[in-house]
């Protein structure tokens, strides 16, 4: 959020002689906005989580931050969106670093799967905490995982 990641455009601005192309797609200049939101690779990752819901995320960083805060009034959906946001940023940065330091490339569908597993594990923990806190669960109250599968889990083609 503070735009302090050492992306290639910043490193070049500090006087380092290195290419500024994006390590994920190879076409654009590696800025934070491009790397996380405009790059074809990252767009594939993001799109997979919002393709079946009526929600569509903005494509520039400052707008995404505001959108995450105000997209819905549902507390549980907002938690899921924040987890998607955090996980996508983390896994995309990790993939970028992996490509930089070890030249190991993962296709975007592998990153999507890793994010899905991470989020589902966290949502299961949140549901378990809610279950323990409530002696009886209302039938009308959806669990985090139910909302995840209804709104965000990519369906098999």
* Per-residue pLDDT tens digits for 81-119: 899 989 998 999 899 888 888 878 999 999 999 999 999
Listed residue (36, 41, 23) closest to 112, CA to CA:
41
Least confident of 44-48, 64-68, 132-136: 132-136
* Per-residue pLDDT tens digits for 35-48: 888 889 999 998 88
CB distance 48 to 112 below 8 Å:
yes
Listed residue (45, 72, 73) closest to 59, CA to CA:
45
More confident residue, 59 or 116: 116
């Amino acid at each position: 959020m503070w735009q302090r990641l050492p992306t290639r455009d910043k490193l070049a601005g500090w006087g380092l002689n290195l290419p500024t192309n994006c390590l994920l797609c190879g076409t654009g200049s590696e800025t934070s906005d491009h790397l996380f939101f405009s790059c074809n690779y990252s767009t594939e990752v993001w799109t997979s989580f919002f393709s079946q819901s009526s929600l569509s995320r903005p494509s520039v960083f400052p707008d995404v931050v505001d959108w995450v805060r105000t997209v819905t009034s549902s507390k549980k959906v907002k938690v899921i969106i924040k987890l998607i946001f955090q996980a996508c940023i983390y896994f995309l940065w990790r993939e970028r670093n992996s490509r930089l330091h070890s030249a190991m490339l993962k296709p975007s569908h592998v990153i999507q799967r890793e994010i899905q597993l991470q989020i589902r594990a966290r949502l299961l923990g949140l549901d378990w905490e809610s279950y323990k806190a409530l002696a009886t669960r209302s039938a009308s109250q959806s669990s985090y995982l139910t909302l995840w599968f209804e709104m965000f889990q990519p369906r098999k083609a």
